[in-house]
A and B are shown apart, each in its own frame.
Chain A
Amino acid sequence: MSNVALKHSSVNKIANRQVISDALLEIGKNDKEIIVLTSDSRGSASMVKFGEELPQQIIEVGIAEQNIVGIASGLAHSGKKPFIASPACFLSMRSIEQIKVDVAYSNTNVKLIGISGGVSYGALGMSHHSLQDLAVTRAIPGLDVMMPADRHEAKKMIEALIDYDRPVYVRIGRNPVQDSYTSSDYHFEIGKSVTMKEGNDLTIFAIGETVRVALDSADALQQKGINCRVINMHTIKPLDEEAIIRAAQETGRIITMEEHSIYGGLGSAVVEVVSQHQPAPVKILGIPDEPAIAGKTAEVFEHYGLSVKNVTEIAIHMVNN
């Protein structure tokens, strides 16, 4: 393990949305240009306290995701720093044209925080899952795309975004995630992946909540004598291509993990780089092309093989063949 990664899973009760809200409140007290926009999502974005303490800096637009993005772009155009906190499933789909045109194409400094992302809304079904958002947002020129691994990274990321004058989409989950980092005391850089664990037998690229699973898998593999590199790709765009090429060169084998469709997300991004620069076998783990099964995040991960057991088996097979 590198010095930043937390070796063993531990229980964490603070959700990333809370961390983001707290950070925005803290910074927003001194930076009046920070404006939070919600689409009847104040509660689910943990923005109630922010709204109470900074009522002049929160805008409620009602259940209107196209409107929230358009309004945010107008605010940004006038020098504000708008942060939209709206469910990822709607924000990344219902308002994708506003994201494409009003935000990315017009180059307005809007931060799109997709909350309750992935399969967070487990039993609510495909309408409420956001498993295509990376694919869609990644294809839009001028838009950066990120997903923090845990609460520590969520804090680092949001702090880095305050004065980052570019459109960005960030997806976070609804529930507390087990920590992947020991603390927020590490160097975070947009577009620069973090090597959570060194190793030369194979590399696992993970993003978001799967980073923890990747670390636990690497731990299990270590006990079987396999040295697995774990890289946290918190920024999927701009992509840290160098880290991917190096991993392909040095470890030869790659596994990718993401709470996203196997089409168009991290796995696709890694394959796009590897296939053109340093061909290597890649196993893509994610949600298959079907409406995701109902269940809690851990259950859904388990079902689709985003689990220590499955990753370990695949890794052993890859290393032995």
Chain B
Amino acid sequence: MQDIQSLKVKATEIRMDLLKLIYEAGTGHTGGSLSNTDILTALYYKVMNIDPQNPTWEDRDRYVQSKGHAVESYWAILADKGFFPKEELKTFSQFNTRLIGHPNNKVPGVEMNTGALGHGLPISVGMALAAKMDGKSYKVYTLMGDGEQAEGSVWEGAMAAAQFKLDNLVAIIDRNKLQITGSTEDVMSIEPLGDKWRSFGWEVIDVDGNDIEQLVKVLTNTPHSNGKPTMVIAHTVKGKGVSFAENVTKWHHHVPSKEEYELAMTELSKQLEVLQ
């Protein structure tokens, strides 16, 4: 329980870090980074077998962030884990930085360059397949967006993962129900999402994607069905943690004003106090 509590504290601190990043850089994907923070916290501080001192260790678990745009929580976590100096976060989105607005494999800890949606799953299929071929026990995790489900290449990867029986592959959908234009169901409906993945041969598990305890429980016990890839549909709130950003479409890439930033930091500080 203590462990979960400390993860919740960490997630709140990461939210504060990422808001600072976005506010100071004047750019970023605020809503999606806030919605995926708990998922990334669970993966990086509890679930995945990684070594920041040896980022290319061959037996490490792999993480591919397919929804590349929600990168701010990712940068904040990689810095906090020690993959690169925290000081460098100041360069986010600035001239000649390597901390660009999408995952960049020039940064230690990042496996692949992503940003174009629909790419992460096929890449992860390749990585998981390689692990099977080599008899390695590492797992491959990939995080997709819900709007991303409209990309056809997602379903090409879905078929292949089931065909190749990749039970060392875990895909997570950050199901925050909003994309840049509005509700995913208004833009291009993806429901019934779980049934779609089940019919493609995946083991599908729904979780509250902002509940770290649930996330840790589901993500540490994969595969839940031998021979099947795992799909975790993480039901999240876009803009999670900042009351006035939650479930508001414009916060997809809205940069907080000074007042909004201060208000958000005050809210998160209070959440931190309650947790501590």
Contact = CB atoms under 8 A, between A and B. Distances in A.
A binds B: yes
A101 B115 contact: yes
A117 to B, nearest CB: 23
Interface residues of B, number: 30
Given A66-B118, A67-B160, A105-B113, A73 B123 contact: yes
Interface of chain B: mostly helix, strand, loop or mixed: helix
B153 A71 contact: no
A73 B112 contact: yes
A106 B122 CA distance: 14
B112 A102 contact: yes
Contacts of A101: 113-116, 119
A74 B126 contact: yes
A110 B156 CA distance: 19
Contacts of A75: 126-127, 129-130
Contacts of B124: 74
B126 A70 contact: yes
Contact of A77 (B116, B127, B159, B160): B127
Interface string A72-93: 1111111110100000000000
A74 B133 CA distance: 13
B126 A106 contact: no
A108 B159 CA distance: 23
Nearest to A97: B116
A3 interface: no
Interface string B45-83: 000000000000010000000000000000000000000
Given A67-B153, A101-B113, A101-B116, A73 B126 contact: yes
Interface in B137-175: 152-153, 156-157, 159-160, 163
Contacts of B58: 79
A75 B128 CA distance: 8
B269 interface: no
A35 B164 CA distance: 15
Nearest to B68: A101
A102 B159 contact: no
A161 interface: no
Q: Lowest 9 CB-CB distances: which A-B pairs, in order?
A: A74-B126, A70-B122, A78-B130, A67-B156, A71-B126, A64-B156, A74-B127, A66-B153, A74-B123
Given A66-B118, A74-B126, 13 more contacts: A59-B129, A64-B159, A66-B156, A70-B153, A71-B122, A71-B129, A74-B129, A77-B126, A78-B126, A79-B58, A98-B153, A101-B115, A102-B122
Interface of B: 58, 105, 111-116, 118-119, 121-131, 133-134, 152-153, 156-157, 159-160, 163
21 contacts: A59-B129, A62-B163, A66-B153, A67-B156, A70-B121, A70-B125, A71-B126, A73-B126, A74-B123, A74-B127, A75-B127, A75-B130, A77-B126, A78-B130, A79-B130, A80-B130, A98-B119, A101-B116, A101-B119, A102-B112, A102-B119
